[in-house]
């Protein structure tokens, strides 16, 4: 028998959540990550928004994913003694007339009401801070401090002796382990065992801005979003989608777009302190893809978290654990072997 149950390649949201699930199940795990300064997970705002998009739709299976995420992150906060998951209010400001019309219908739907703030704040936002003439609503959301979650987890794994900083090389003879699992994000497009899986990846750019005064810790959404950080004067502003230029280079064009959109509703002056870009690993919309390789049975894959990694990763990681440990089926449409 191999001395280790699983080698997990990549410590982004996918690798970190899977490592926790396998460790909690009593398996021996080694997490290996090349520790790039900028990755999709490290720059993500970690927003978990149940009501999304212009259609004001409920996020896919949010009633399953959100309770699972809450339990998962709360357990890990207990384990590590650190706080990285925050229940937060978010304000959605309308910028098109049809959004308001849709809202008038949706607000009567009990499934939708579950995620609304009750009572709705009045005014929705401080009029000195933002322009809300077209109306909007406040909702109950959450936010994962992703960079902190990853850093705290890495420290924990290091203390257990199950983390190493290394570029994993798939082209040489693979090390002994029951499973070697690729959690490499968009880099998996170049993995020689999994390069046949088609990506619809999207580059995203995000700004870090500083206001001249502290603001309430709420995210505000109006086409783009601004998301709070630990510092009440500093917000993250994002994000853009670019399906053509799949690199990590910040562009003046995206910065201009984000700044202009922020200025269209925020009245306070701000300075841009940082500007980052990374590629979201999107395979099939926001559905993850996971499972074992169709031929190489000890090679696994957990990817495709898309734009919803903070919300989806805990539930999918738990499904993968149950599949590996108990032979439970993977969620419909997400099983690598059945889909490709
Ligand atoms: C600008 C932006 C904003 C976002 N905002 C949000 C948000 O608000 N909410 C949300 O839920 N999601 C958000 N996302 C999406 C979210 O970040 C992704 O769902 C998530 O990061 C995917 O995580 P991952 O672990 O699959 O990939 P990654 O984060 O890319 O992690 C892969 C890891 O594997 C490592 N790696 C790769 N290959 C190797 C190798 N061969 N050897 C060793 N290490 C390797 C990489 O260095 C990296 O650490 C955002 C993304 C972007 C770009």
**Which residue from 7, 10, 68 has its CB within 8 A of the most atoms of ligand 1, so it is best to mutate?**
10
Dist. CA 10 → ligand 1 center (Å): 9
Which atom of ligand 1 is found nearest the CA of 206? 1
Domain 6-44+147-198+287-339 identical in fold to domain 202-280: no
Task: Give me 72's structure tokens.
Answer: 């998962």
Dist. CA 232 → ligand 1 center (Å): 25
**Which residue from 15, 201, 281, 309 has its CB within 8 A of the most atoms of ligand 1, so it is best to mutate?**
309
In the beta sheet, which residues pair with residue 33? 165
**Which residue from 21, 148, 183, 185 has its CB within 8 A of the most atoms of ligand 1, so it is best to mutate?**
185
Dist. CA 18 → ligand 1 center (Å): 14
Dist. CA 135 → ligand 1 center (Å): 34
Q: What is the pLDDT of residue 132?
A: 84
Which atom of ligand 1 is found nearest the CA of 203? 53
d(Cα 132, Cα 328) in Å, to the nearest integer?
A: 49
**pLDDT tens-digit profile, the chain (340 residues):** 667 999 999 999 999 999 999 999 999 999 999 999 999 999 999 999 999 988 899 999 999 999 999 999 999 999 999 999 999 999 999 988 888 889 999 999 999 999 999 999 999 999 899 988 889 999 999 999 999 999 999 999 999 999 999 999 999 999 999 999 999 999 999 999 999 999 999 999 999 999 999 999 999 999 999 999 999 999 999 999 999 999 999 999 999 999 999 999 999 999 999 999 999 999 998 799 999 999 999 999 999 999 999 999 999 999 999 999 999 999 999 999 988 7
**Ligand 1 interacting residues, C-beta cut-off 6 A:** 9-15, 32-34, 36, 39-41, 43-47, 167-168, 183-187, 204, 206, 238-239, 278, 280-281, 303, 305-311
Distances in whole angstroms, Cα of residue 255 to Cα of each of 208, 251, 261 = 11, 6, 10
Which atom of ligand 1 is found nearest the CA of 170? 41
Handedness of CA 145, 146, 147, 152 (dihedral sign): positive
Q: Topology of domain 6-44+147-198+287-339, per CATH? A: FAD/NAD(P)-binding domain (3.50.50)
Q: What are the extents of the domains in the chain?
A: 6-44+147-198+287-339, 47-144, 202-280
Dist. CA 294 → ligand 1 center (Å): 24
Contact present, 205 and 257 (Cβ < 8 Å): no
Contact present, 237 and 294 (Cβ < 8 Å): no
Residue 102, preceding peptide bond in cis (omega within 30° of 0) = no
Angle at which helices 146-159 and 13-24 cross, to 10°: 40
Distances in whole angstroms, Cα of residue 73 to Cα of each of 6, 84, 217, 229, 313 = 22, 8, 19, 18, 11
Q: Which CATH architecture has domain 202-280?
A: 2-Layer Sandwich (3.30)
Q: What is the pLDDT of residue 293?
A: 97
Dist. CA 244 → ligand 1 center (Å): 18
Give the closest residue (by CA) to ligand 1 atom 5.
44
**Which residue from 43, 44, 189, 285 has its CB within 8 A of the most atoms of ligand 1, so it is best to mutate?**
44
């Amino acid at each position: 028998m191999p001395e280790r149950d699983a080698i997990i390649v990549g410590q982004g949201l996918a690798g970190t959540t899977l490592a926790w699930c396998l460790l909690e199940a009593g398996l021996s795990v080694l997490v290996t990550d090349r520790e790039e300064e900028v990755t999709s997970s490290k720059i993500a705002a970690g927003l978990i928004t149940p009501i999304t998009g212009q259609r004001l739709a409920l996020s896919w299976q949010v009633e399953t994913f959100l309770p699972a995420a809450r339990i998962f992150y709360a357990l890990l906060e207990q384990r590590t003694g650190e706080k990285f998951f925050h229940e937060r209010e978010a304000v959605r400001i309308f910028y098109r007339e049809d959004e308001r019309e849709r809202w008038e219908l949706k607000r009567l739907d009990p499934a939708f009401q579950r995620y609304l703030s009750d009572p709705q704040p009045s005014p929705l936002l401080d009029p000195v801070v933002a322009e809300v003439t077209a109306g909007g609503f406040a909702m109950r959301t959450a936010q994962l401090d992703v960079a902190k979650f990853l850093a705290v987890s890495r420290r924990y794994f290091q203390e257990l002796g199950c983390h190493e900083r290394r570029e994993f090389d798939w082209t040489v003879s693979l090390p002994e382990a029951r499973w070697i699992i690729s959690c490499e994000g968009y880099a998996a497009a170049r993995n020689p065992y999994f390069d046949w899986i088609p990506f619809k990846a999207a580059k995203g750019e995000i700004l870090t801005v500083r206001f001249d005064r502290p603001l309430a810790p709420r995210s505000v959404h109006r086409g783009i979003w601004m998301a709070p950080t630990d510092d009440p004067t500093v917000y993250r502003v994002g994000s853009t989608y670019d399906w053509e230029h799949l690199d990590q280079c910040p562009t003046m064009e995206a910065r201009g777009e984000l700044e202009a959109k922020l200025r269209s509703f925020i009245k306070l002056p701000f300075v841009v302190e940082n500007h980052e870009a990374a590629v979201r690993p999107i395979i099939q919309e926001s559905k993850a893809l996971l499972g074992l390789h169709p031929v190489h049975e000890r090679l696994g894959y957990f990817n495709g978290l898309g734009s919803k990694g903070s919300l989806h990763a805990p539930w999918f990681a738990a499904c993968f654990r149950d599949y590996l440990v108990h032979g439970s089926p993977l969620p419909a449409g997400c099983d690598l072997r059945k889909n490709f």
